[in-house]
């Protein structure tokens, strides 16, 4: 059984996609041990509680230094004995200590086709604003392992989404979620739960063998 921690900051629709996928069997042999938000009022926390999942807020504001905050995060995650940390709209850049501690066991969902429209400053609606500004015709979402850079870790799964002429950032954000994010994040977790994500020469591959 893969025990996962899901880290969130906002609405938690990706968290909901994971909860629903576990419930209907699209993700098997997996449980969410803990949901952690850096924001007390994140709706994601209510979604977790509603599903009977342990949900806690660990806020940077409640800690006197970044080190103290990281220590609290690391301790809480260690105590929860999770195998995988899923960043699902978690808006705090992880520290090197955190990444070192859980190296190779952290994944993130990003709402573009990395390496386009990613890195510092590319989060939330901003990503979709830039996509529209640049006039690209195809965007999408990416699930990748987290390393010490921003959106630079090995890519595990991607899915493309068409950009329509009349898209605004909000409509595009919604379509990228519906057509890509809520599909590839659960698929990746299921693949990891079944040992189907393999690393070779610094790249991640999904094997078809179960």
Coil vs helix vs strand at 64: coil
Residue 71 sits at the vertex; the CA angle it makes with 19 and 34, to the nearest 5 degrees, is 15
Tell how strand 138-145 and strand 197-200 pair up.
unpaired
CB of 111 to ligand GRF, least distance (A): 4
* Catalytic site residue from 63, 110, 128, 194: 110
User: 55-63: long-range contacts at Cβ-Cβ below 8 A with a sequence spacing of 24 or more?
Assistant: 60/92
Q: Which of residues 23-82 bind ligand GRF (CB under 6 A)?
A: 44
- Least Å distance, CB 126 to ligand GRF, is 11
Q: CA-to-CA distance for 198 and 53, rounded, in angstroms?
A: 29
Chosen residue from 10, 33, 140, 153 binding ligand GRF by CB under 6 A = 10
Decide: 150 and 119 in contact? Cβ < 8 Å. yes
Residue 110 a catalytic site member:
yes
Q: Which of residues 122-161 bind ligand GRF (CB under 6 A)?
A: 124
- Residue 89 within binding range of ligand GRF, rule CB under 6 A: yes
Site string for ligand GRF, 102-121 (x = CB under 6 A): -------xxx----------
Considering only 13, 37, 38, 188, the residue that binds ligand GRF (CB under 6 A) is: 13
CB of 208 to ligand GRF, least distance (A): 26
Distance CA 55, CA 65 (A): 23
**Torsion of Cα atoms, 88 then 103 then 92 then 19, to 10°:** 20
For residues 34-58, b (16+ Cβ closer than 10 Å) or e, as one string?
A: bbbbbbeebbbbebbeebebebeeb
Contact set for ligand GRF, span 181-210 (CB under 6 A): 181
Question: Smallest distance from the beta carbon of 47 to ligand GRF, in angstroms?
Answer: 9
The residues that touch ligand GRF, with contacts defined as CB under 6 A, are 8, 10-14, 44, 88-89, 109-111, 124, 177, 181
């Amino acid at each position: 059984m893969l025990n996962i921690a899901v880290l969130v900051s906002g609405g938690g629709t990706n968290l909901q996609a994971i909860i629903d996928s576990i419930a209907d069997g699209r993700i098997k042999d997996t449980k969410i041990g803990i949901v952690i938000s850096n924001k007390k009022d994140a709706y994601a926390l209510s979604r977790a509680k509603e599903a009977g999942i342990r949900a806690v807020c660990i806020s940077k504001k409640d800690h006197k230094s970044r080190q103290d905050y990281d220590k609290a995060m690391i301790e809480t995650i260690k105590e929860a004995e999770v195998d995988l940390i899923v960043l699902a709209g978690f808006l705090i850049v992880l520290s090197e200590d955190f990444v070192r501690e859980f190296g190779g066991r952290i994944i993130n969902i990003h709402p573009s086709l990395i390496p386009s429209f990613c890195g510092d400053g590319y989060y939330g609606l901003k990503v979709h604003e830039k996509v529209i500004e640049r006039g690209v015709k195809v965007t999408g979402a990416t699930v990748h392992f987290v390393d010490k850079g921003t959106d630079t870790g090995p890519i595990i799964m991607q899915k493309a989404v068409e950009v329509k002429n009349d898209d605004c950032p909000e409509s595009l954000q919604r379509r990228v979620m519906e057509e890509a994010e809520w599909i590839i994040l659960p698929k990746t977790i299921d693949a990891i739960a079944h040992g189907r994500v393999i690393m070779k020469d610094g790249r991640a591959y999904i094997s078809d063998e179960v």
